[in-house]
Amino acid sequence: MSAEEPTKAELEQEKKDHERQVFLDFCAAADIPIESDTLRQPAPPSPDVEVVVSNRGRVAFELVRLNHPLDLQSRSLLAKAQYRIDSAFDELEQARRDAIVSRFGDAIVTVGFAADTGAREREQALSFLWDALAEIPPGFRDEVPLYRKGAPPALTSIWVQRQQIGKGPWFRTISAGGAFPLQIAQLGRKLRRRYPVGSTPLELLAYIEQGEIQHLNAIDRIREELRACLSASTFNAVWIYEPMHFRAVRVDALSTGV
């Protein structure tokens, strides 16, 4: 294992730290008064978090992230692509970089990548990007026509906007393709499990990272999953938490309504 690769223990600690922050942010959004110094994160098979809630006593929470794995991977790749475009531009030979600056010093260049392509494909597409920019006439503003240009599949679009900003070009990246569906079935899997909590109330915290339920048309599917599984489970309630909107909704086992 190389020195750069995190160990299993480091990955587990990173996951715990992330879940702890998600939980604390959720409590703030849901206005749940917890005694933060009592917060524990026991090892499996116990629930992810146990904490004392004012006027309720100790409550256990199991966390589940509903994002599709490819959605988070795509977002990570997009952030890396932004960094890589900036650094690759700086690494261009001086004459080529100066030629691009002379044409796009007042421009924002937005580069679209296919959501289902990896870092290597995006890296390989950069040489096409520099060639395409070199062929664009001075003052051009609009979408760069890629039809019949032999653009690699990873590169879906190039847009040029002119702004009075100077010291450009400024590069931005976007990801093209439909939104990945939420993993609603994860709710049922969690609700059907049994956790060693004794008499401690147990609640499920389902959250959507960097996304929103309404945009992903998932509300009806969440309702169906909860109606099918919540009343027969050992969970007292389910929370649906959207960090993007700082919004949390509680669903009781007796009501099963969202």
pLDDT at 98: 92
Residues 140 and 160: their CA atoms lie apart, in Å, by: 7
DSSP letter string, 97-133: HHHHHHHHTTEEEEEEEETT--HHHHHHHHHHHHHHH
Q: How many other β-carbons are positioned within 10 Å of the β-carbon of residue 141?
A: 13
98 Cβ neighbours under 8 A, 6+ residues apart: none
CA dihedral 136, 137, 138, 140 (to 10 degrees): -70
Is pLDDT of 3 > 50? no
The 10s digit of each residue's pLDDT in 102-134 is 999 899 899 988 877 888 898 899 999 999 998
Please give the pLDDT value at position 255: 55
36: alpha, beta or left? (left if phi > 0; alpha if psi -120 to 50): alpha
Burial bucket for residue 37 (CB in 10 Å: 0-12, 13-18, 19+): exposed
First to last CA, the chain: 46
Average pLDDT, the chain: 86
Tell me the pLDDT band of 230, cut-offs 50, 70 and 90. very high
Rounded to a whole number of angstroms, the CA Rg of the chain reads 24
Task: Return the SS3 of 251.
Answer: strand
Identify the band that residue 1 occupies on the pLDDT scale cut at 50, 70 and 90.
very low
Mean pLDDT value of segment 178-201: 89
Are the beta carbons of 123 and 149 closer than 8 angstroms?
no
Please tell me whether the overall predicted TM-score, pTM, comes out greater than 0.85 for this model.
Answer: no
Sheet architecture: strand order including 142-143: 142-143, 155-162, 107-114, 170-176
pLDDT at position 83 is 82
The residue-averaged pLDDT of 174-187 equals 76
- Bridge partners of 238, per DSSP, are 204, 251
Specify the long-range contacts of residues 47-52, CB closer than 8 Å, at least 24 apart: 47/195, 47/197, 47/202, 48/19, 48/23, 49/19, 49/20, 49/23, 50/200, 51/23
Binning pLDDT at 50, 70 and 90, where does residue 221 land? confident
Give the least confident one: 7-21, 140-154, 156-170: 156-170
Distance CA 13, CA 23 (A): 15
Q: Please, what's the largest Cα pairwise distance for the chain? A: 72
User: What Å distances lie between residue 215 and 10, 71, 134, 193, 211, CA to CA?
Assistant: 34, 14, 38, 29, 8
Token output for 52: 């004392």
Q: What is the pLDDT of residue 251?
A: 87
CA dihedral 125, 131, 136, 142 (to 10 degrees): 0
Token duo for residue 103: 């044409």
What would the pLDDT profile of 59-96 be if each residue is shown by its tens digit?
999 999 998 776 766 666 667 777 888 899 999 999 99
The mean pLDDT value for 201-218 works out to 77
